[in-house]
Amino acid sequence: MPFTIAIDGPAAAGKGTISKSVSAHFGFAHLDTGLLYRAVGAKVLAGAEPVAAAEALTPEDLKSDTLRTPEVAQAASKVAVIAEVRAALVAFQRAFALRDGGAVLDGRDIGTVICPEADVKLFVTASAEVRAERRFLELSAKGHSDTRADVLADVKARDARDMNRAEAPLKAAEDAVVIDTTDLDIEAAVAQAVQVIEARRSA
């Protein structure tokens, strides 16, 4: 039986960690849809044309370990405004969502565009400053030299592009449950998500 959980929100709000924990808790498959856009962005940085790169994407492309850099994140956010790029990635995401045994998809437009019929929709958010601080600590731990100010500027630029684009902009679905992690640690945020999903599963 399919059971689809859509988790959307801005960069570094905690949706990745919540998605991984929730999928492990319920034994569901997990797709980080940002990786699709990152893989296209990485190909564009290497000289490819965005739409052709999206149409030719393979699951292998999602495994590259260069997809987590700030440069690739910005490139992902830029290719994500192109309607044909988004269209090329829809079928794969919808098929994943409907697989037997349950699926968690996290991204920006899962509850609004990709899976408007999802069984559970969560919108995970936090203030830009708190998100930038988390991302700064993550990047510093990996040896990146970006300053706090660089990371905050990056987060704000990506928010503005993701929220203001014409095509599938980042926003909460009307029936999404909002989890604001500004003042929540990750355990508390995961506990809230699990509670919402359990209530929906037994309904």
Per CB under 6 A, 162 contacts ligand DC:
yes
Q: Out of 76, 88, 118, 128, which residue is the one contacting ligand DC (CB under 6 A)?
A: 76
DSSP per position, 75-133? HHHHHTT-HHHHHHHHHHHHHHHT-TT-EEEEESSIIIII-TT-SEEEEEE--HHHHHH
> Which stretch in 51-59, 72-80, 134-142, 187-195 sits in contact with ligand DC by CB under 6 A?
72-80
Closest separation in Å from C-beta 32 to ligand DC: 7
Collapsed DSSP state (helix, strand, coil) of residue 1: coil
Query: For ligand DC, which is the closer residue by CB, 4 or 77?
Result: 77
Q: Out of 4, 21, 77, 192, which residue is the one contacting ligand DC (CB under 6 A)?
A: 77
Long-range contacts (CB closer than 8 Å, 24 or more residues apart) made by 43-49: 44/75, 44/78, 44/79, 45/71, 45/72, 45/75
Q: Out of 80, 104, 126, 179, which residue is the one contacting ligand DC (CB under 6 A)?
A: 80
Lookup result for tokens 């919808």: 94
* Residue window 106-135: x/- pattern of binding to ligand DC, with contact defined by CB under 6 A: -xxxx-------------------------
Q: Out of 5, 6, 7, 11, which residue is the one contacting ligand DC (CB under 6 A)?
A: 11
> How far, rounded to the nearest angstrom, does the alpha carbon of residue 104 sit from its chain's CA centroid?
11
Phi, psi (degrees; rounded to nearest 5) at 10: -75, 175
Q: How far apart are CA 203 and CA 201, in angstroms?
A: 6
Residues from 12 through 41 that contact ligand DC (CB under 6 A) = 33-34, 37-38
Closest separation in Å from C-beta 179 to ligand DC: 16
Per CB under 6 A, 53 contacts ligand DC:
no
Q: How far apart are CA 103 and CA 31, in angstroms?
A: 8
Closest separation in Å from C-beta 82 to ligand DC: 10
Site for ligand DC, rule CB under 6 A: 11, 33-34, 37-38, 73, 76-77, 80, 107-110, 158, 162
